[in-house]
Chain A
């Protein structure tokens, strides 16, 4: 359970607060991108590979498209994948973790073996394979990411369930005749979800990183939809001329991923002050 003390301890870190503000700002940019007056897909061949200037603050790519506009729309892809892939991961992980932790014995054994199997597949291999074979789209990427990263959440939830399932409030619920599903979802899960915040925050960072890697490899959201990774992918062929194509999208990926990582780290510290 997240207590007021947790928030107090979290707030103590200036870096974490800064990261939180940064993420909020990035989300705002993503939401407001369509309001922006520049079309991210508008081709202007008279302004190809223009360096940053007053007309195009972050320059243009080899088709004369405005990089700032493309990056603002790219933020939508990155954050959408980050949030929704993590949501899937949390739901699937909570489901398996709850079953394993609540029922124990055979259920626990089966879930543990399942986690072992999933962890054996090199993560990016699996995601690349699924996304490419089922055809790349926003939906495929989210599902592939969600279905391969739920193991952390499952382990956290399982451990919490093992800890709290015999506590008095759980026994009281059982004694009052509540069904298993009700005990799990109404009583236990809300009390076990706090550590998941940590892995969810890292999960968003990882999902954003992976989506941009997929787009970079040409297996992300189909073109011409802009994504930070695909702008970088275009930059590869312009490496000798266009530094702005490399610098800005990379910086966007790096800072956003770092922000989510910092938030996750500080939540972990705040939940358990003893750990470093």
Chain B
């Protein structure tokens, strides 16, 4: 087990370097003068040549690409991605400022999706072959195929335009500074409802499908047949024997859904004008703010990497069958 964890950790470090190389390469094959990475497009024509040369020296642009990569990497490992070309503020500061808003949205969506999705999935696994099970399978399938931005527009149309009970977009009402704590939270909750639903429904479908197939897989195994043959009641077989084993694979979902959530928040934040990291990224790519784009790309990849690592470690502790050197999945 120790050897496995050590190898997994080593691979994670390796993957991290892979991520940095990929990010750096991707940005540097984008057509255009690299100096625009640091001063923006407008800067190239307005700044005198001597100043440009000084900037090039300052950012090591006069050195070969591998050296530039190392300079960038040195900053990146300490989460220093330089300054944004939009407002000259440090990239890390800008990201950390918006991240809590994104997390608020994502955590609520994640928890709700798990809270409803997992029990529904487990329940439908126990009804295998019946009409309700097949109907729910198709339903989740369709849910998964719905484009989130369409769902958002429909929700807005119904709840904000027609019924006028929820705000159309934004994080707070205009007068939020004058509200007391209770009404501020109430106001924020109202603003959260539609974005959370938009983010959560597809997650819910994924959770339901995954937990259903996990339990179905376990029910098929020999030890369940043995338990039944011993005369254990169907309830005991399910809740005592099967469920524990079915829950273990769910851990991997933790690592798998993080990138989907991050991806989803770009769309949701954009539609609902939610002032989070997804919007920051969207604005950054539109204004070609390369330091911010690189910073966001690296940080989100890093979050995914850590979530995956965390899930794998949890998995080892949750499943006593995993022994030294044995590979997972």
Contacts and interface: CB of A to CB of B under 8 A. Distances in A.
A and B held together in a complex: yes
Interface in B148-168: 148-150, 153-154, 156-157, 161, 168
Nearest to A228: B147
Contacts of A121: 19, 22, 259, 297, 300-301, 304
Interface in A174-226: 205, 209, 212-213, 216-217, 219
B103 to A, nearest CB: 15
A68 interface: no
A120 interface: yes
Given A120-B304, A122-B304, A257-B145, A129 B267 contact: no
B162 to A, nearest CB: 10
Interface in B270-290: 270-271, 281-282, 285-286, 288
B267 A124 contact: yes
Nearest to A131: B285
| Most central of B27, B157, B260 by chain A CB within 10 Å | B157
Interface string B26-63: 11001100000000000000000000000000000000
A129 B15 contact: no
A130 B286 contact: no
A232 B19 contact: no
B144 interface: yes
Interface in B4-20: 11, 14-15, 18-19
Contact of A129 (B148, B154, B212, B285): B285
Contacts, number: 133
B141 interface: yes
A123 interface: yes
A216 B128 CA distance: 39
Given A133-B285, A235-B153, A117 B15 contact: yes
Contacts of A123: 259-260, 263
A275 B281 CA distance: 40
Interface in A102-132: 113-114, 116-126, 128-130, 132
B285 A116 contact: no
Contacts of A26: none
B138 interface: yes
Q: Is the interface of B mostly helix, strand, loop or mixed?
A: helix
A243 B26 CA distance: 41
A74 to B, nearest CB: 13
Nearest to A212: B147
Number of contact residues on B: which range applies?
35 or more
A254 B301 contact: no
A253 interface: yes
B213 interface: yes
Contacts of A118: 22
A56 B308 CA distance: 51
Given A120-B301, A253-B147, A261-B145, A114 B157 contact: no
A12 interface: no
A253 B22 CA distance: 32
Interface string B250-280: 0000000001101110110011000000000
Contacts of B19: 117, 120-121
A53 interface: no
B1 interface: no
Nearest to A251: B150
Given A133-B293, A236-B153, A276 B26 contact: no
Nearest to B30: A133
16 contacts: A113-B14, A120-B15, A120-B302, A122-B300, A122-B301, A124-B267, A125-B262, A128-B282, A232-B153, A239-B161, A246-B154, A257-B145, A258-B142, A261-B145, A276-B212, A276-B213
Closest 6 CB pairs of A and B: A124-B263, A250-B150, A117-B18, A258-B145, A122-B259, A122-B262
Interface of A: 15, 113-114, 116-126, 128-130, 132-134, 205, 209, 212-213, 216-217, 219, 229, 232, 235-236, 239-240, 243, 246, 249-250, 253-254, 257-258, 261-262, 265, 275-276
